[in-house]
Structure 1
Amino acid sequence: MARAESGQARSGGIGRFLSWRKVFGTFFGLCLLGMGAFTVLYLVVDVPAEGNPAAKAQSNVYKYSNGKTFAREGAVNRELVELSEVPKDVQHAFVAAENKSFYRDQGVDLKGTTRGLLNTLRGEGKQGGSTITQQYVKNYYLSQEQTVSRKLKEMVISLKVDRNKSKDEILAGYLNTSYFGRGAYGIQAAAQAYYGVDARELNVTQGAYLAALLQAPSAYDWAAASEAGKTHVKERWAYVLDNMVDEHWLDTGARARQKFDVPDEPKGAPGLAGQRGYLVKAANAQLQEQLVSDGVPKDAAAALVDAGGWNITLNIDEKKQRQLEKAVKAELTSRLSPKSRAVDADVQAGAVSVDPKNGRVLAMYGGEDYVKHYTNNATREDYQPASTFKPVIFTAALAEGSDTQDGQPITADTVYDGTSKRPVVGSDIPFAPENEDDQSYGPVSVQRAMNKSVNSVFAQMGVDVGMEKVLSTADKLGMDTEDEEAVPSQTLGTMGASPLQMAGAYATLDNHGKKVTPSLIKKADHLDHSVDFPDPVGEQVVERGVADSVTSVLQGVVDDGTGAAVRNPVQDVAGKTGTSDDNKSAWFTGYTPDLVTSVGLFGEAAKDRTTDSGEKVRRGAQVTLSGAAGGGRVNGGGFPAQIWAGYTFDAMGAPSAFDLDTEMGAGIAPPSEEPDPSGSQGPSEPATEQPEDPTTEAPPTSEEPSGEPTYTPPTEGPTAPPTVDPTPPSEPTWGIPEGPDGRGRGDRYEDDGD
């Protein structure tokens, strides 16, 4: 028995030995096969005789929807320089950032390349690990595509280039072909774009920033970076300098003296003056986003667009574009006098007009002149939309079937407590917003609260619905809520938004709840292929009855509220005004059945200055609009509404009526009069309206006064409001929650006298 067991043991040991021998044999065979394949590849792949097509890039051509060319963006912004024209410290900054072993390696990082190949096979896109030689080969000889064959070619050519060229030649090629963002290819163009100097004038701290920029030109451009992005930029900049110390290219004393040099603001190209530059850059941004959606890495997509050769047709209607520009000039810029009133220089306007049926952007106003003001006011998202957000809250209430604190369904007729500074009930976070001019409305219906933009009502409604659901609805309508906190203050529209976003959200309502994502591009072709864009009109994101009810309520804002400046006797109009805290922004977003337009005014400091109180204001900071054009507070019912009316009533075709599937709102029946639950009828608006003193600045506010502006729409016929259905309104439902002191609804108003 022992002998048998011993035999089995010997047999098992031999079996294991034979098994391992097979494994090693297989592995060795694969290695030989791989080496043989690489040898064949090395013999077959030659260094190309000349650079890739991007090195001979063409211009991009931009056309209106009718095919008429309105802009050509010139050839690639690149000026070749000798390496001797780049300071040695700056050369070392790039090597420290990208490839510390550059002067010692053979042109290839086998570990990084292998990792890149595996990631490509897994579909994980762009990965780091390439040497400077490999990046130069990719930029100059190959392409930005993420394929195994391209990466293998890159490795072979890099090995050959490293043998045939000096390190200085390779570094010069790398610096002259790299993409730095802002349309700048090569270090000379980058030095001019970011610091306004030639490459030979760059210092080490500027060189370190440009070297850091190469990792992510779009995200690390200081002018466009978020606060988090700016933090990452400085960390990357410090990493570059620290690596220079490690390689003995910078002593510790010099390192300690380095201070981050903030890059210059971007400047528009002279050939893109007026609105052309805004349209071109917005079209480029949409094209880049689509390329990224198609699998192209973000910075490679930006480089591909800037490299040229694109024929891009926009949805912009040439006639409507001219009409929008004309309206802004007539209603705003012609009334501003920056030389006599400093505040007038701080006024920026942006507007977007969309066809709600197909999502096409028909007109866009980005600012007075792209060359003078690089930022596109139509697409910027850094100003609050203020009370133009209130319809989103009401949409969420209807979509979610929400109830008040008293369990009453929220509809246009639901009555809330409109007392100014009334603390919201049901929130863990205390919030008691002030109404415009601290005006209290007493018991007020949702319809009238929308008409007069009563903050206290919509703050409570947001809590009743649940702020998470409100933000979810905003996201469905097309607003960017990813980084927003679900707190009651959001009911005042405190998140950032652009006229483009607001036009899309309201277009979705106008389109009976089908998602509209405004699209600027009609088609884009490059050489022998086209880019396919998704249909701007998507799925049903809110029920038709919900969207139509909101539209009906928003007609009341125009017929009997803060949007009276756009009232038209022959045309159905829905819309909402908005004015942010400290009067830093003012809005009107409105629509007819066939046209949605959002107009925003933004207070942006035109230059560095010190206020009378000693506060330092940096150029580009958000500042108040109050006093612009010699008036007082700039409200959404003023200039923005006037621009909207001047454009819309000029651009629209024959008058049309909304086709609404709803039984609530001002578009269906006259607004109801709300009884006072205490038994006494208090006024829901001031008995008299005092004219605003243009020389006195009003206190900070989040909405505009309810008095009617003096603007008269360019229409013919009687000036009375449109006739409405005389059918009496439905019985209002009551939903005023008890106050925080525990008193009932009747008790709250018995002593007020309002």
Structure 2
Amino acid sequence: MSFSIASALALLLTLGQIFLMDGQFQKLDPRYDRDKAITQLRNACHMIMEQDVIKVMNPQQIIADQKSGTVYQQEQVEKELKGLCLKEKIDYIKTHGKGSKPPECDMDALKEKLLAEKGQSSKGALDGGLEVFKDFTMTDAIALYDYLCAPNPTDSIPEKLDLDKVLAIFNSSVDEAVNADLSKLSEPSLPQSSLIYSLDGTEELGEIYSKENRRTWVPLNQIPDVVKQAFLSAEDKNFYSHKGVELKGVLNGFLRFIEKGVVIGGSTLTQQVVKNVILSSDISLERKIKEMMIASRVEKSYSKDEILEVYLNLINLGRNSWGLQKATENYFGDKYVSDLGLKEAVFFAGITHGPNLYEPDLYMTRIQKRVPYVLKEMRENGYITKEQEESVDPTTLKFTPRKVVHSSYFHQSIQTELEERLGKDAANKGGFYLFSTQIPSMQKALEKGLQQQLYDFEEGKGRLKWKEPLGNLINRDFNDLTLEEHAIFADERQWSKRLLNFRSLYQDVQWPIAVVLNKDSDGTLMGILKLDGTTDFKNLHHSRQGWADQAYRSLKIGDVVDVDFNDNTVSLRTFPTVQAAAVVMEAKTGRVLALTGGFSFHQSELNRALHSIRQPGSTVKPFTYLSALTRGIQPDQIIANAPVYFDPIHIPGERKIRRFRKCNAWSVRNYSSGGPASMSLRRGLETSNNRVTARILKLTEPGNHELGLEYVRNIFQDFGIYDQPEDCYPIILGSQETNVVRMARAYAAIANGGTLVEPHYLDTEKNSGLIQKAPESRPIFSADPVALFQLKNILGGVVERGTATVLKEYAGYVAGKTGTSTSYNDAWFVGFSNDIVVSVWVGYDNGNENGKKRILGGGGTGGGLAAPIAKGVFEESFKIYPKTSLLSNPPPGVRLYRENGIIESYRDGYAPGRAQEWDPRYDENLVSELEAPRLELTSPFESDPRDFNGDFNRNFDDGNDLGQPPRSLRRNEPRQSPRNTKKRKKSRAEIAIENGRGGLY
């Protein structure tokens, strides 16, 4: 490494203008100001010669001392490296036996080790000699000294004095210094962390911050004097007397640069602030010149206290902490800066030059050596007494870092929303207290249920694979550990504290975590950190099957793994490959209460809830049924369960030939064969019958199924499922892709009676000072409250009697629909109560494994795989939102009747004959036990001769394999004469029967 002599002279010129011209920087034109430049260089050199720091004036002696010092340092380094290498070889022979031949030493690795032992952070500290006078002889140095620095300077301009280059460097630095934006140093301009809180504000969930700006600003008057004094003693004892640059410090640093080859020391606190906020951290004399110039300007624009406040909020103190407050939280738990005493103050002041070299979990011995140095400086500067100095025992420092919450899918969504609302620059600037919409207990319930379900699914399929441990506490061979590192495994407090750091990386995984403490013939002893923060010791259960056996054999001491801790047994866990995404949303407001975009954010940052689109399968069917209910068709309408055929859809105005088709002909099949010949509209949705769903297109607009499809497409668009629904029949069975959040939003509109809410992650009311406008919810103008209430009632039947009976214990309070796309690619469930909506997708990411597309396979249905994930969420929700019946508060125009044990909802004027009217305001036990069979419209079924068994988007749903429906729904049930003789408006189906067109669709 070498430096330009022109840079060194530009540095000399800078020092002259700072100390002899009071920092009034003037550019010097090489055409007109050459004599002025020479004069300023000479004056600066004479000023330096007067400093005590310059012990030897003769350049020949300086060069000689530098060379001898280099030789001595190189010899010392070589001796120490040889010693480390010899120890490494002896240890190898001890481990592998006397006859073994140790490998050659890795000298680069040994240099790193030596560097750490010396407490240095730069490899240059070991490099020894530095050719700072490259292409610059002793004769050149003497000539420059005689021309600029001697008491009686010569008139002969030295050959190596390139004044044009010196002034070019100097003038460029002046330009940058004069134009530097000093406003960046003000507190509002420095980026900070934005803290995220739960919806009720009681739990801090984490923070958002840009790179190297994880800080929380603390005013200087809230920082104890002892903390300020510790930093001043360790870093800049003359801070309150210098003008931003200290001459002796600069000269000391420059001489160390010549001697050791690294730019170290010599910077005042003001210079450090300038380097970290305004300039880059590159190592060069040119940068140092600019730094000093700007520091001189800063001292004239800001008070000393203001500069100290910036410094203490700016400095990097390790553990991803910038500034004292964030460091206090990360080293000493939930303390505030105002709580710090002398012991903590000297610790922080002592680690500023290399925080990672003083990590308490690894290098406590170094801390014990560093703390006394800071205490000594404080005593010598008159800040503390001898008694106070001796009272501090660094071994009693209690480092209790709180749990660090890393980024998550929810945090990612908050940051996106913040940027959309405030703009990217303002969002990254931070400093906000953000009240999210998250309810932590529901978030945990969602993650726990999802992770358990995915793990159990792949375990049952034999698809789990062991990858590797989460990490290792030491990342070194156990036999090479120091005594201090060995102690970690014997001290429960130490290993559990380290496990907390691993837990923070995988904070969204709701499994216990464990470390291998010992492994021998008696078994593998695990130290376990449970989810509640308590610890335990147990031998690991050795499963001798598949991946678990492979994992057990490969574990080594210090490995950190996920475990299952049940019935006093500890067994290994590994992340499954199958993924899932889910969202929990408040139905009336759009607040997102919980969200996960995958198994774990640390495993994959792709937020599948928002950014993956998949076929929703039968979860879109309710919106097809809604088209029928909106047009007056009632839930008891009987529909044929028979093959159905649809002609191709052609482009308007074109001849009906294949190349002008928008959609091919379509024939529909069910998931399973058999079943009744016909069923009610309600039962069709409860059992997810594909043929009944398809026939609704003919039912809503007899004779014009293309118009029936148009009705459904409009509903899809109005409810936000698709922006541009495909003009093709299979869309009604979920062939077009969408995402989890869109489906939750659509179902929320069913739950709330027709309002399309806007999903959001920041609570508008509590962030009112930051976010002025609430997300806009809008009424769906095409929504019919009566039809939506009827649909809600039918979807309640899906939970009670249909494809989502895994949730049956919540029947009457929860409704929803399952879905399974073609070939078991995707499993879905979207369900709701009167208060929340839960939308769940399960499947494999797109792509092949070993040349094969990954699918869920048998058992991977919406009812069997996705719906159970929602169960725990609803259970948790009922602790927060009281249970209310789905049938409470029916809208005007709805009449409720009890029929065959089912409470059915009818539109006014369409009530069946002998059914008993039911009033939700009264207790069910007070309602008459008189029940009448439902009114059914039946007629002989005539199949369409064009029906065939094609498989156009056959949906493998998890319905229609539930056996025969209730007797009252069978086609041969005798019709009952209506008791209610009140005249009412006839339905389309009744009119069709009277006109001889049949009542089956």
Q: Give the TM-score of the pair, scaled to structure 2.
A: 0.39
Aligned to 1:279: 410
Call closer, same or farther: CA 1:396–1:306 in 2, change over 3 Å: farther
Q: CA shift at 1:287, angstroms?
A: 2.9
Aligned to 1:323: 445
Q: CA shift at 1:525, angstroms?
A: 9.7
Q: Is residue 484 from structure 1 mapped to residue 709 from structure 2 by the alignment?
A: no
- Give the alignment partner of residue 678 of structure 1, picking from 918, 940, 943: 940
Q: Tell me: higher relative CO, structure 1 or 2? Use CA pairs within 8 A at least 6 residues apart.
A: 1
Aligned to 1:722: none
Q: CA shift at 1:392, angstroms?
A: 1.3
- Give the alignment partner of residue 849 of structure 2, picking from 602, 609, 614: 609
Structure 2 Cα separation of the partners of residues 489 and 519 of structure 1: 31
Q: CA shift at 1:595, angstroms?
A: 2.3
Contact kept in structure 2, 1:393 and 1:470, CA below 8 Å: yes
- Give the alignment partner of residue 206 of structure 2, picking from 67, 71, 88: 71
Aligned to 1:444: 679
Letter in 1 for 2:193: S
- Give the alignment partner of residue 657 of structure 1, picking from 852, 869, 885: 885
Contact kept in structure 2, 1:367 and 1:373, CA below 8 Å: yes
Q: Is residue 624 from structure 1 mapped to residue 886 from structure 2 by the alignment?
A: no
Contact kept in structure 2, 1:478 and 1:517, CA below 8 Å: no
Structure 2 Cα separation of the partners of residues 484 and 497 of structure 1: 10
Q: Secondary structure at the match of 2:809?
A: coil
Contact kept in structure 2, 1:350 and 1:499, CA below 8 Å: yes
Aligned to 1:423: 645
- Give the alignment partner of residue 750 of structure 2, picking from 484, 509, 513: 509
Letter in 1 for 2:871: A
Contact kept in structure 2, 1:352 and 1:365, CA below 8 Å: yes
Q: Can you list the C-alpha shifts for 1:430-464, whole angstroms capped at 9, x where unaligned? A: 21122113556533321111111111222332464
Structure 1 Cα separation of the partners of residues 751 and 997 of structure 2: 39
Q: Is residue 633 from structure 1 mapped to residue 859 from structure 2 by the alignment?
A: yes
Q: Is residue 333 from structure 1 mapped to residue 455 from structure 2 by the alignment?
A: yes
Q: Is residue 358 from structure 1 mapped to residue 493 from structure 2 by the alignment?
A: no
Q: Can you list the C-alpha shifts for 1:382-410, whole angstroms capped at 9, x where unaligned? A: 111111101112223333x2xxxxxxx53
Q: Can you list the C-alpha shifts for 1:658-717, whole angstroms capped at 9, x where unaligned? A: 22333479642799585763289xxxxxxxxxxxxxxxxxx97341144569xxxxxxxx
- The worse-fitting range, judged by mean Cα deviation, of 55-64 and 450-459 is 55-64
Q: CA shift at 1:520, angstroms?
A: 1.8
Structure 2 Cα separation of the partners of residues 729 and 386 of structure 1: 41
Q: Is residue 592 from structure 1 mapped to residue 833 from structure 2 by the alignment?
A: yes
Q: Secondary structure at the match of 1:305?
A: helix
Structure 1 Cα separation of the partners of residues 767 and 635 of structure 2: 51
Q: Is residue 458 from structure 1 mapped to residue 693 from structure 2 by the alignment?
A: yes
Call closer, same or farther: CA 1:369–1:656 in 2, change over 3 Å: same
Call closer, same or farther: CA 1:71–1:444 in 2, change over 3 Å: same
Contact kept in structure 2, 1:477 and 1:541, CA below 8 Å: no
Aligned to 2:774: 533
Aligned to 1:668: 904
Structure 2 Cα separation of the partners of residues 355 and 560 of structure 1: 26
Q: CA shift at 1:577, angstroms?
A: 0.8
Q: CA shift at 1:336, angstroms?
A: 3.5
Structure 1 Cα separation of the partners of residues 673 and 835 of structure 2: 37
Q: How many residues align?
A: 442
Call closer, same or farther: CA 1:271–1:499 in 2, change over 3 Å: farther
Q: Percent identity?
A: 23
Aligned to 1:555: 796
Aligned to 1:469: 711
Q: CA shift at 1:272, angstroms?
A: 6.0
Q: CA shift at 1:545, angstroms?
A: 1.0
Contact kept in structure 1, 2:748 and 2:757, CA below 8 Å: yes
Q: How does 1:82-101 map to 2 (within 5 A)?
A: none
Call closer, same or farther: CA 1:548–1:283 in 2, change over 3 Å: same
Aligned to 1:575: 816
Structure 2 Cα separation of the partners of residues 507 and 565 of structure 1: 21
Aligned to 1:40: none
Contact kept in structure 1, 2:670 and 2:960, CA below 8 Å: no
Q: Secondary structure at the match of 1:337?
A: helix
Structure 2 Cα separation of the partners of residues 70 and 533 of structure 1: 22
- The worse-fitting range, judged by mean Cα deviation, of 564-573 and 277-286 is 564-573
Call closer, same or farther: CA 1:458–1:569 in 2, change over 3 Å: closer
Q: Secondary structure at the match of 2:795?
A: helix
Q: How does 1:46-57 map to 2 (within 5 A)?
A: 49-50=181-182, 56-57=190-191
Structure 2 Cα separation of the partners of residues 727 and 302 of structure 1: 69
Q: Where does the alignment leave 5 or more consecutive residues of structure 2 unmatched?
A: 1-177, 214-276, 279-402, 466-574, 651-662, 699-704, 906-931, 943-952, 964-975, 981-985
Structure 2 Cα separation of the partners of residues 315 and 333 of structure 1: 28
Aligned to 2:634: 411
Aligned to 1:374: 605
Contact kept in structure 1, 2:834 and 2:884, CA below 8 Å: yes
Aligned to 2:807: 566
Letter in 1 for 2:410: L
Aligned to 2:62: none
Call closer, same or farther: CA 1:562–1:736 in 2, change over 3 Å: farther
Q: Can you list the C-alpha shifts for 1:538-580, whole angstroms capped at 9, x where unaligned? A: 5665132121111112122122211222112674322111101
Q: How does 1:14-53 map to 2 (within 5 A)?
A: 49-50=181-182
Q: How does 1:121-520 map to 2 (within 5 A)?
A: 273=406, 276-291=407-422, 301-302=423-424, 304-337=426-459, 340-341=462-463, 345-399=576-630, 401=631, 409-420=632-643, 422-424=644-646, 428=650, 429=663, 430-439=665-674, 441-462=676-697, 464=705, 466-479=708-721, 481-520=722-761
Letter in 2 for 1:649: E
Q: Secondary structure at the match of 2:633?
A: coil
Structure 2 Cα separation of the partners of residues 304 and 559 of structure 1: 50
Contact kept in structure 1, 2:992 and 2:998, CA below 8 Å: yes
Contact kept in structure 2, 1:564 and 1:708, CA below 8 Å: no
Q: Can you list the C-alpha shifts for 1:328-373, whole angstroms capped at 9, x where unaligned? A: 2444435533994159944212221122233322222222210111
- The worse-fitting range, judged by mean Cα deviation, of 428-437 and 558-567 is 428-437
Call closer, same or farther: CA 1:585–1:608 in 2, change over 3 Å: closer
Structure 1 Cα separation of the partners of residues 649 and 903 of structure 2: 33
Call closer, same or farther: CA 1:286–1:73 in 2, change over 3 Å: closer
Q: CA shift at 1:729, angstroms?
A: 11
Call closer, same or farther: CA 1:414–1:645 in 2, change over 3 Å: same
Q: Give the TM-score of the pair, scaled to structure 1.
A: 0.51
Q: CA shift at 1:648, angstroms?
A: 0.7
RMSD: 4.3
Q: Secondary structure at the match of 1:72?
A: strand
Call closer, same or farther: CA 1:523–1:48 in 2, change over 3 Å: farther
Q: Where does the alignment leave 5 or more consecutive residues of structure 1 unmatched?
A: 1-45, 79-139, 142-269, 292-300, 402-408, 618-622, 627-631, 681-698, 710-725, 750-754
Contact kept in structure 2, 1:513 and 1:546, CA below 8 Å: no
Letter in 1 for 2:455: T
Contact kept in structure 1, 2:825 and 2:844, CA below 8 Å: yes
Q: Secondary structure at the match of 2:611?
A: coil
Larger Rg, first or second structure (1 or 2): 2
Call closer, same or farther: CA 1:609–1:324 in 2, change over 3 Å: closer
Aligned to 2:508: none
